[in-house]
């Protein structure tokens, strides 16, 4: 029984250490925002709206994860080296 506890503790520590080490940087978030906006609208890509949105975004690190906001709306979430763009809702 104690061996299972030790193995679980070690695995948990390794996963948490990996989460800290692989937390996406602000530049990775901004690149994903640029890419996602260009994919959603070719006009936005031509006008550089993705770059503008990425420029005004605010990066929020949480240690094991991170997110960016624009006008108090979450636009991307990242963890373990992966960033996901979230289409901002129109309401608020």
Task: Tell me what pLDDT residue 1 has.
Answer: 62
**The pLDDT value given to residue 45:** 81
Q: Report d(CA 25, CA 75) in Å as an integer.
A: 15
Give, for all 92 residues of the chain, the pLDDT tens digit.
Answer: 689 999 999 999 999 999 999 999 999 999 999 999 888 888 888 888 888 888 999 999 999 999 999 999 999 999 999 999 998 666 65
Tell me the pTM.
0.81
Tokens of 90: 């129109």
- Yes or no: say if 39 and 31 are a contact pair by the CB < 8 Å rule: no
Are 61 and 73 contacting, i.e. CB atoms less than 8 angstroms apart?
no
CA 67 to chain centre: 5
């Amino acid at each position: 029984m104690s061996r299972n506890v030790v193995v679980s503790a070690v695995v948990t520590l390794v996963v948490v250490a990996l989460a800290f080490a692989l937390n996406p940087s602000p530049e990775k978030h901004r690149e994903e925002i640029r890419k996602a906006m260009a994919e959603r609208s070719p006009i936005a890509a031509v006008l550089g709206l993705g770059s503008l949105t990425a420029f005004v975004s605010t990066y929020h690190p949480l240690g094991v994860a991170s997110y960016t906001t624009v006008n108090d709306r979450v636009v991307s979430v990242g963890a373990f080296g992966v960033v996901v763009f979230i289409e901002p809702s129109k309401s608020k």
